Amino acid sequence: MSAGDIPAPAEYEWDFETDGDVGIWYLDGWQGFPDEELNAVSDHYRERASRDDIEATVAVFGDETSLPKETQEYMGEEWSANGEYAGVDRIGFVADGITGMAVKSNMDVSDAELGDFDDLSTAIEWAKN
């Protein structure tokens, strides 16, 4: 996949937008995406977050999100590598309950600050500072 050829969110069950220099991935209703969806959002994150206009990223999980252990392990490995590749300053996760904390605890990105939050506005404020 070339850097200019990233998955289009409209073709999948997730969405993406920016708020200033914060990239926001909406993974609402995720109940264990099929491999194609998971790979697409991962590829999109890697390529889009590495562009100069993104300094921080936030992944938003909906109330119905279910992340089995295997998915959390995949995310920990793949998304940690993506965070390193992207070179962003902050990586945040938004979810009710422990989902955001669970994802964060599996992440290892040496040069990025990690955070988990209950609401999007708090996460975006944190990501912008």
Contact 72, 102 (CB under 8 A): yes
Q: Which residue has the higher pLDDT, 33 or 5?
A: 5
- In 3D, which of 60, 75, 58 has the Cα closest to residue 21? 58
pTM of the predicted model over 0.85: yes
pLDDT digits over 56-108, tens only? 999 998 877 777 778 778 888 998 999 999 999 999 999 888 778 888 888 99
- 46-58 mean pLDDT: 96
Summary mean pLDDT of the chain: 87
Q: Tell me the C-alpha distance between 84 and 46, whole Å.
A: 9
Assigned token pair, 38: 């998971």
Contact 80, 44 (CB under 8 A): no
| pLDDT class of 120 with cuts at 50, 70, 90 | very high
